[in-house]
Structure 1
């Protein structure tokens, strides 16, 4: 050992858990069907899967946003073209007006 205390290595302790999304979706459907039919459950009431519905909605809206970006860039491009045409017109045909300003 030296004069100074050596730091210990940090350990990462990961305990993997098995998650089956298909089985979870199946249980969700069974609960929903039992709730709709009014059948008795095992004492558990139907709780909708809010997280899955939010993820689906996010994915759907993400696809819609791609079209909005295209519209924005097209609009910006058209505005720049109009400005450049205006500057070209002033520079070629109204040069005397520009010279009076300076």
Structure 2
């Protein structure tokens, strides 16, 4: 008999593997039908613009550049936050609680100075 507890033990991670089967008959039938459709001009991909694929590739490359810039900004923001935290800890060690009061006075001054410009 299991006793109830406040701490929940983690369960084992379970996963479901769906095996893939190779069916040569099905693949042969698909190849034949696609070849026949191509000969008859009924190919579904024939209606697509030939430059469509390159447009998609170009848009992915363009978005990757934007994502890279976002990563740089994120790294810079993390670095700034880390430096501010280190300064607060160092100020707390050397000055004491007064560092927080100085920060409370200095932050509104910075905001006022930025709004004035």
TM bin (shorter chain): 0.3 to 0.5
Q: TM-score if structure 2 supplies the norm length?
A: 0.38
- Higher relative contact order (Cα pairs below 8 Å, separated by 6+ residues): 1
Q: TM-score if structure 1 supplies the norm length?
A: 0.42
